[in-house]
Amino acid sequence: MKVNGQNMRTIWVEGDVVKIIDQRLLPHELKIISLGTLEDARAAIADMKVRGAPCIGATAMYGMAVAVRNDPSDITIKTAYDTLNASRPTAVNLKWAIDECMGAIDGVDETKRADILFALAAKNCDDDVAMCSNIGDYGKALLDEIATTKDGEVVNILTHCNAGWVATVDWGTAISPIYKAFNAGMNVHVWVDETRPRSQGARLTAWELEQHGVPYTVITDNSGGHLMQHGLVDICLVGTDRTTATGDVCNKIGTYLKALAAFDNNVPFYVCAPSNSIDWDMRDGLKEIPIEVRSGEQEVGWIMGRDEDGILRRVTTMPDPAKTRNDAFDVTPRKYITGLITERGITNASRAGLLALFPEKG
């Protein structure tokens, strides 16, 4: 997608240097940083310079590639795998990505490993863009149906967190259908959940939509149910960090509450799920998906933004000391999900539905 009119991806290689956007500073500053070592990649993921399940996966692959370029020995490969695997627990794309890397260099001569991994990471980025583009096309068809019933009136979409292009390599998952619909001339408007504590909606989704010219309104995390009760939401589109083989969806904390409100108000609730966000080994999302718990003191207790003089500051609104708790994800049981939008089409959130699209996983 475009930033200040220039095409950008979230991760790319310049010469032989891997570059990413430091998403912690958006929307205030567009800072590009380099990943030259395994530690750079680990810290980028753990400190959320990059975030969003597909973007984490793409970064992990390049993390394996730079680690192996620096030292192609078996011991370094194992260290790189374990280090990256431990950098964030919930998004399954991370493990998927490093498993792909291990498969690609299994039994390969040390001198050839780095080239293979760099080629794999580049291909994964292109594949990710293609998957997200397909999700956009399938999701747009749903928006087309709604637009037809509304006869040119605005189509209101609610989204949570950031599942736009900065959460992937390009296009995004949940925002991809919106970009496709907007590009085709549809009258769309996006309700953007602020998404505390890290405000991925207010900071990142709003920034993306603003850059692309898509109409949007940032709302507090508590507003969605009220808007749905008043007929102001036509469809919810969200992303996923891990979807079980049975269709339970783990996504940013607060997704579950939006699904409940959507269910109660007959608002269709769709999850945009590329296949590398599906964990085919898991059946019960509530019992099995590891939920990341981050520092409440740092993330709930403090918030960063620009003050009236334009200076970036961290401020707190709480008594010192205040107790905090910061579970970063929740699980939406499949019964609340209208459908999963994948790169191969749309299905209901069920094992049978997923296997109909991905029979090779049966």
Tell me which residues are annotated as active site. 241
Residue 7: helix, strand or coil by DSSP? strand
d(CA 232, CA 4): 31
State the minimum distance, in angstroms, from the CB of residue 293 to ligand MRU.
12
* Nearer to ligand MRU among residue 72 and residue 301 (C-beta): 301
Distances (CA, A) of 227 to 100, 200, 267: 42, 20, 11
d(CA 316, CA 318): 6
Phi, psi angles (nearest 5°) of residue 259: -65, -40
Nearest CA-CA partner of 117 in 170, 75, 158, 61:
61
State the minimum distance, in angstroms, from the CB of residue 236 to ligand MRU.
12
Distances (CA, A) of 254 to 25, 184, 194: 23, 31, 11
Residues at the interface with ligand MRU (CB under 6 A): 51-54, 91, 161, 163, 167-168, 172-173, 200, 239-241, 251-252, 328
State the minimum distance, in angstroms, from the CB of residue 161 to ligand MRU.
4
Q: Can you list the pairs that 353-362 forms with residues at least 24 positions away whose Cβ atoms lie under 8 Å? A: 353/247, 354/245, 354/246, 354/247, 354/278, 358/275, 358/278, 361/245, 361/278, 361/280
* Nearer to ligand MRU among residue 56 and residue 188 (C-beta): 56
Closest-approach residue to ligand MRU (CB): 239
State the minimum distance, in angstroms, from the CB of residue 263 to ligand MRU.
19
* Nearer to ligand MRU among residue 146 and residue 166 (C-beta): 166
* Nearer to ligand MRU among residue 230 and residue 325 (C-beta): 325
Phi, psi angles (nearest 5°) of residue 349: -80, 85
* Nearer to ligand MRU among residue 84 and residue 91 (C-beta): 91
- The residues facing 17 across adjacent strands are 14
State the minimum distance, in angstroms, from the CB of residue 200 to ligand MRU.
5
